[in-house]
Chain A
Amino acid sequence: MAGAKSELRLKTSGLARIGRVFRHSDAARGYLLISPAMAVLLFALAAPLALLVLYSFWSENGLVLDTHPTLSQYAAIASREGYRSLFLRSVAISSLVTLVTVALAYPMAYFVAFRAGGAKFVWLLLLTIPFWTSYLLRVFAWKVILGYDGVINSALIGLGLISRPLEFLLYNPTAVVVTLAHAYAAFAILPIYVSLEKIDRSLLEAAADLGDGPLRRFFRVTLPLSLPGVLGAAVLIFVPTTGDYVTPTLVGGSDGVMIANIIQVQFGRVNNWPLGAALAIGSMAAVAVIAVSFIQAARLAVARIR
C-alpha cells in the first residue's frame, strides 16, 4: 500500500518534472507545437514516398504482388527505348516551357518592381489570381481555343483569313508548351519580382552616375542581381511541369504524351503498380539531378561573370 503510494508520488513528480521542462523550455514547447504538423507530414508524405520506393523494387505476377526485392522494373525501363525517348521528350518540353515562361515573365516582373509605383499591389493581385483559379479549367480553355472547331479557327474563318481550320494548333508539343507557359506564369513572375524588388536602388544610381547607359546598367547590375529569382523560377517551373498530367492529356495528342501519362496508365489500364512506381522514382531522381546540375552550372557562370 505504502509502496504503491510512493510509486504514485514518484510518477506524479516525474510528470510534474516533464511539465516543468515544457513550461520552462521554449525549445521543448516549440517541438511540441510543431509535432502535429510533422506527424501529418510523416504519414501523408514521407510514408507514402517510402512505400513508393519499396513498390519500385517489387514486381507484379499476374494479379499478385510479389514482394521479393528485384531490380527488374528499373531494368525494364532502362532497356525499353520507348521509355527513354518519352522521358527525354518530357524534359525537352519542360525545358522549353521553363525558357519561354521565364523570358515572358521577366519584363512583366521588371515592370511591377520598377514601374508600377503605387499600383504594385493591384498588379501583383491581378497576376496571381489566374494562378489560384482552377488549373483544370485553364487547360480546358486552351483546348477550346486551339481546337479544330475552336475559337482561333472559327474566328479566322469568320474573318475570311483562312478557308479550312488549321490542324496544327492542337494535339502537339507546341500546344503543351503554350498551355504550360500560361499555367505557370505566376511561378515565374513572383520569384523574379521578389529578387528585383530586393535590389538596392542606390546601386543602380551608382551605375548611372558612373556613366553606364540603361542597357549596360541592366546587364551589369540588374540582371546579375536578379539571377537568384530567375533560377528559383526556373526550378519552380521545370520540376513540376515534367510531371504534369492534365496538360499533355488534354492538349498534347499522341506526340505530346509525357512521362506522367505513362505513369498513370500503370495505375489504370495496365495495372502494373511496381512499374509505375519505378517510373515515378526514376523520373523524379533524373529531374532532381538535372535541376541541381543546372543550378550549379548557373552559379559557376555567375561567379565567372563577377
Chain B
Amino acid sequence: MLRSPAASPSRRFAPQDQGGWASRNTRHDGGGGLAIYAILYLAFLYVPVLLLPLFSFNDSAFITFPLTGFTTKWYAAMAGDEEMRAALANTLKVGAAASLISTILGLLTAKVLARGIRGGAFFAGFASLPLFIPDIVLGIALLMLVTSLDIPLSLESVVVGHVAICLPFAIAVLLSRFEGFDLSLEEASRDLGENGWMTFWWVTFPLVLPGIVASLLLTFIVSFDDFLIAFFLCGTDTTLPVYIWGELRFPYKLPNVLALGATILIASSALIALAEWVRRQGVSGSPRDHGIGI
C-alpha cells in the first residue's frame, strides 16, 4: 500500500533542497503512496478527537448518528454548572502555580545543564525520571507521603505532584533554547562591567524569553490535563479532569461533558500552537531543531 508506482504526484512532495537525492529517487520510492498514508494517519489522529466538538452541537442526549439538529444548549448548560466552574477555577489555580514554579526551577537547571557541569548527566536523568514512572505510581506514592506527614489533601498537594511531572518538560524546552545560546554574549556583558544579575536580566533573560513563555504554556497544559495525580491528591477540591471523570459515570450528563471537552480541546490546541510558535521565535531555522519537548 505504501509503494505506489504513480510518479507525477510524488514530485510535489519531494523536497528540492536535499542535493537532488530525494527528487531523483522519488519515482522508485512511492512518495505519493507515502503522502496518502500520512494523510490517513492524520485522519486517524484527528477524527476521533473532532467527534467531540461535532456531537457537542448535536440536539440529542445520545451520541449517535444521524445528527438530529443544531443546538448550543449543552454549552449553556455547561456555563451554568456551578460545580464545573469551581473545578475550572481550581484547575486554573493549580496550573498557574505548577507552571510558574516548574518553569523557574527549569530555567535555573537548564542554564546549568547547557553550560555543562560535573554530574550533569545524572541530574538530567534524575529530572526526566517522572516521564518514566506511571502516573498512578507517582500518585499513590505522593498520597502516602502527604498522609504520613499529616498534610491534608488539597490543591497544594496537587501542585507539588504537578511540579514533579512538569519539570522534565520545562527543562527540555528551556535546554533547547539555551543550547542555541551564544555564550560570548554573556561574556561580553561581564567584560563590559555588568554583574551577574544585571547580565542575566539584560542579556540572558531576553534571549531565552521565548523558551520561558513556551515552557509556561506547555507545563500549564501538562498540569491542566493531569487526571491521575489530582485524582489521588486533590481531596475534596476537585480539578476539572477529576470532575469530568465523575461525570462520565452518568450517561445523561454526557452532552455536558462533550461541550466541556470540545472547549478544552480547542483552547489547549490553540495554546500549544502558540507555545510552539513562540518557542521557534528567533531560532535560526536549524534543521536539527525539531520536536516539542521530547
Contact = CB atoms under 8 A, between A and B. Distances in A.
Interface in A139-177: 140-142, 144-145, 147, 149-151, 153-155, 158
Contact of A124 (B21, B123, B291): B291
Contacts of A81: none
B51 A141 contact: yes
Given A44-B163, A111-B38, A38 B126 contact: yes
B105 interface: yes
A294 interface: no
A40 B51 CA distance: 40
A117 B14 contact: yes
B180 interface: no
B59 to A, nearest CB: 15
A121 B292 CA distance: 11
Given A104-B41, A246-B228, A128 B292 contact: yes
A51 B19 contact: no
A120 interface: yes
Contact of B145 (A51, A116, A128): A51
Contacts of B63: 144, 147, 149-151
A47 B248 contact: no
Interface in B103-152: 105-106, 108-109, 111-113, 115, 117-118, 123, 126-127, 129-138, 140-145, 148
A182 interface: yes
A37 B106 contact: yes
B290 A194 contact: yes
A182 B44 CA distance: 8
B55 interface: yes
A245 B109 CA distance: 31
Contacts of B123: 34, 38
B45 A115 contact: no
B29 interface: yes
A36 interface: yes
Contacts of A108: 37-38, 41
Interface string B257-294: 10001001100110011001000100000011011101
B55 A144 contact: yes
A191 B232 CA distance: 31
A64 B142 CA distance: 20
A30 B117 contact: yes
B66 interface: yes
A277 B115 CA distance: 39
B132 A129 contact: no
Contacts of A38: 123, 126-127
A154 to B, nearest CB: 4
Contacts of A185: 45
Nearest to A120: B290
Interface string B38-66: 10011011101101100100000011111
B48 A124 contact: no
A151 B273 contact: no
B62 A149 contact: yes
Contacts of B228: 245-246
Interface string A224-257: 0000000000001001101111100010000000
Interface of B: 2, 13-19, 21-22, 25-26, 28-29, 31, 34-35, 37-38, 41-42, 44-46, 48-49, 51-52, 55, 62-66, 101, 105-106, 108-109, 111-113, 115, 117-118, 123, 126-127, 129-138, 140-145, 148, 160-161, 163-164, 167, 171, 218, 221, 224-225, 227-228, 232, 241, 244-245, 248, 254, 257, 261, 264-265, 268-269, 272-273, 276, 280, 287-288, 290-292, 294
30 contacts: A30-B117, A34-B108, A38-B126, A40-B105, A40-B167, A41-B126, A41-B164, A43-B160, A45-B129, A48-B145, A49-B133, A108-B37, A112-B38, A115-B38, A124-B290, A126-B45, A128-B272, A128-B291, A133-B269, A135-B225, A136-B244, A137-B49, A141-B48, A144-B51, A186-B294, A190-B291, A208-B21, A240-B134, A263-B136, A273-B144
Q: Would you list the 10 A-B pairs with minimal beta carbon distance, nearest first?
A: A243-B134, A48-B141, A154-B64, A117-B15, A37-B105, A44-B164, A52-B141, A30-B112, A30-B117, A48-B145
